[in-house]
Amino acid sequence: MRKKQDVLNFDGEQFKFVLKRIVELFIRSMKDAGVPEDLRKSVMNYYRDEMAASEQHIRRDTEKLGATKNS
């Protein structure tokens, strides 16, 4: 029986759904912890910028993990 390959598709609907839910949980956690709205927005702006700057590096590292796993 062939093992199903676990592929992380950053551009797929499932990944986008999960990432959106994680971000929503993080925002709600900040709110529940009493972080003021202006600070929450600032944190999320920094997060957005960090994600944009790191995206290609994350994709490359993820591909390397898959190559190592399949070797």
Residue 44, pLDDT > 90, answer yes
Residue 37, pLDDT > 80, answer yes
pLDDT score for 50: 98
pLDDT score for 65: 85
Residue 71, pLDDT > 90, answer no
pTM: 0.76
b/e per residue 33-60 (b: at least 16 CB within 10 A): eeeeeeebeeeeeeeeeeeeeeeeeeee
